[in-house]
Amino acid sequence: MPYDLAFDRTAKHDSGWYHGASITALTKLCKTHDYKLVAVSAAGANAFFLPDASDIPELEPAQAYRENVLRNRWSRTTAKDQWERIKHMPFIEAP
């Protein structure tokens, strides 16, 4: 999503789901700083990156991805449902 200094996720979209970066975008960014994706929390809310020199195996974003269980529970939706609500919003492709 485009950078906005005064960003307020509920002001941008009433669902509050239009925010953040994808696990793929974060992985691409971390790779430019010699870090690799190694895990995603069981609830799907946190991604973990370690230096490339770490012995822990690297994961591909699609392999590591998990839906955010807590968000799904409180919203009574799935990631697919959430995407359908915000897919018309502006997004930036990670370089």
Return all residues near 69 (Cβ < 8 A) that are at least 6 apart: 42, 43, 44, 45
Contact 88, 12 (CB under 8 A): no
Tell me the whole-structure pTM to 2 decimals.
Answer: 0.81
Which alpha helices (DSSP H) does the chain contain, by range? Answer: 9-12, 23-31, 61-64, 69-75, 79-86
Beta-bridge partners for 47: 40
Distance CA 38, CA 53 (A): 12
* pLDDT tens-digit readout, 13-70: 989 888 888 999 999 999 999 999 999 998 888 999 999 999 999 999 999 999 999 9
